[in-house]
Amino acid sequence: MPHFAPVRVRGGRRLHRLVRHRRRALAVGLAVTAAALVAAGPHPVTGGQETRRSRGHPVTEPMGERHGPRLVAAPVRIADAATVRLLRPGDRVDVVASGDGGAGDASVLARGVRVAKVPEPVEGSAVGGALVVVSVPRATAHRLVGAATTARLAVTVC
């Protein structure tokens, strides 16, 4: 068999160098793939505002109003003034009504409501409890007002 010179592939050393530096080769491959995906991505057909907005960035237009329950500030007189001193605006509490009948008559009026404000206590009002302002849906505010006339209210910190 005759002796042949080795076959050399053009650019073979470059490929060998890329294989040696795998991290760099992987980064280059990912960059090329990302560029190809952006170039081949969907283009807006209309000539309106969509063409001016760059793709891949968040929308800069303001979001619409949420359609959840609208919250109102409801003042609630808590029977134990010392408990109210523990509360700060932003705390989450459960508002509990206890009837005059004893231990078994407690019911939760509002769960996980946010304390909006804790007004400074007025001198001499410790006997009548203390005031807390909570953010609740309008229907819950009506229940709180109704229950405050017939029961003693308390809060538990969530």
Stronger pLDDT, 158 or 47, i.e. the higher one: 158
d(CA 131, CA 56): 50
What's the predicted TM-score (pTM) here?
0.54
Residue % of the chain over a pLDDT of 90? 34
The confidence score (pLDDT) of residue 90 equals 93
The confidence score (pLDDT) of residue 158 equals 86
Nearest in space to 109 (alpha carbons), one of 133, 68, 139, 65: 139
What is the DSSP code (8-state) at residue 69? Answer: P
Distance of CA 77 to the CA centre of its chain: 30
d(CA 79, CA 93): 15
